[in-house]
Structure 1
């Protein structure tokens, strides 16, 4: 039986961003310097394959600082942590290494700056996401309000409307965030924001690539974990821009299930991308799986080049 033809558009850029790359290297270099085990608070990035590969070389993942012994290094994840977490590690006299993405650190610093200037901060983001928890934990909780939706933006009450600022989670949808900020700026003309937008370059670039592929593709597959905010946003962006089917592929089993139900009588155009915490190895595995089932015409779909690099902490250089 002849294999069906498909056009596979491969998004570029895709996969690991500079912040994720740095966080993974921090764990690897900490193990090289201090031996194993080293402890990591929360998943270093939201991807099981990455977490499992680091566990194999000596990383132990814990939920809280007090689950790690005081005589071993503790690493804080790329999503950032509240000040209370850093204080706890300091009180226990632990060696702590911060793998927070520098772009998240920028949001932390802005939040603290607004607080120091007496402003109430409206943080646009998703409740319980570790990045949001970390950002909200930079200042006393009564000085920050979470805005998740346009309805929240319309209904939020602030006592001093001339003393407010906003910040955003770095992995949001550009379009959704723009709609929320438009409401906040029209309600509070004096609201202060960041000098440059908080949504990170990698989130922006991956979403731009998906929007561009959406014009060409019937289906878009996004490799990424179910708890990865930036990967989930890529699926939403694809659907919002007219793709009939957009699917998150967290593992090979999900891909197999998808391929089993996949039928198309014409040559379909499939777009493939990966969230900022998904390694390129998963992209290549998925391509080889598709090649087993289909005659694949692979097309590189590059929208921009990325050459951002972040330095490792001084302790590890």
Structure 2
């Protein structure tokens, strides 16, 4: 894992280092394939709640093929076919889909589904759930919906300091899957200091694709200059850029690409 073999000029010119791994994660590939298969099998239009992935090239390609992207289900005709994006949805969205008799195709990333299941389990235990993530991100909105009355979102260490937990003996945490490893570790460490009995998932919720891409950026930081090819709305792009900055490599953005992410 890390930079692949560099290619450079024989006379000592600059080398290009391609990070490995790179590109779409398995969950994103799966979600895109779901839309393509639905279009091929059923024909257009196929409605998709939210962008299937935060990548305008992919979205434009699918839109041209007949996918119709909507923000909410009230934009989908009753009885129509609709796909849920890789980011997942709340139970309320599923109830709304059932009420409109929509034919649902669920493209939620399995790793996101795992976080939902953990939240459900912790809520059943009567615990306060600390959800580490960005409150406006589609994935966090969906996870929050599993137990909104017992879930508190934290984004920063300041949020951790401001936490008030009704029963510190019954508190658990889950995390958004596309976060910075270092930031999440710092927040979890502080949570454990403040709430020694806090419980967490048996394994790190940060998705393996996010983790190995951040590690690849770290390994390549010695190059001194990086070209970050990703979409401005994507969460992983922000995390990769920050990781490279912390490693003191110069970052340049290329907005005209079609690489990963969610």
TM bin, normalised by shorter chain, reads: over 0.9
Task: Determine which of 23, 37, 42 is the counterpart of 2:50.
Answer: 42
Paired position in structure 2 for 1:214: 221
Q: Does 1:231 align with 2:237?
A: yes
Shift of 1:220: 1.1
Alpha carbons 2:178, 2:235 under 8 Å: kept: yes
Shift of 1:250: 2.3
- Number of equivalent positions: 253
Paired position in structure 2 for 1:147: 154
Deviations 1:5-38 (A, max 9, x none): 3211000100111000000000011112221100
Alpha carbons 1:203, 1:276 under 8 Å: kept: no
CA distance in 2, matches of 1:27, 1:178: 35
Paired position in structure 2 for 1:159: 166
Shift of 1:4: 9.3
Runs of 4+ residues over 6 Å off in structure 1:
none
Aligned Cα root-mean-square deviation (Å)? 1.7
Alpha carbons 1:214, 1:238 under 8 Å: kept: yes
Paired position in structure 2 for 1:177: 184
Paired position in structure 1 for 2:8: none
CA distance in 2, matches of 1:250, 1:42: 21
TM-score by length of 2: 0.93
TM-score by length of 1: 0.77
Deviations 1:153-194 (A, max 9, x none): 122110100111000000000001100000001111110100
Higher relative contact order (CA closer than 8 Å, sequence separation 6+): 1
Structure 1 residues 274, 11: closer, same or farther in 2, change over 3 A?
farther
CA distance in 2, matches of 1:250, 1:100: 26
Paired position in structure 2 for 1:119: 127
CA distance in 2, matches of 1:57, 1:92: 25
Q: Does 1:249 align with 2:254?
A: yes
Alpha carbons 2:232, 2:255 under 8 Å: kept: yes
Deviations 1:229-264 (A, max 9, x none): 111100000001121x21332226xxxxxxxxxxxx
Partner secondary structure for residue 44 of structure 2: coil
Instruction: Extract unaligned runs of 5+ from structure 2.
Output: 1-10
Partner secondary structure for residue 5 of structure 1: coil
Paired position in structure 1 for 2:104: 96
CA distance in 2, matches of 1:172, 1:94: 32
Q: Does 1:194 align with 2:172?
A: no
Deviations 1:192-247 (A, max 9, x none): 100111000000000000000002x121122111111111100000001121x213
Paired position in structure 2 for 1:51: 59
Instruction: Extract unaligned runs of 5+ from structure 1.
Output: 253-272, 278-317
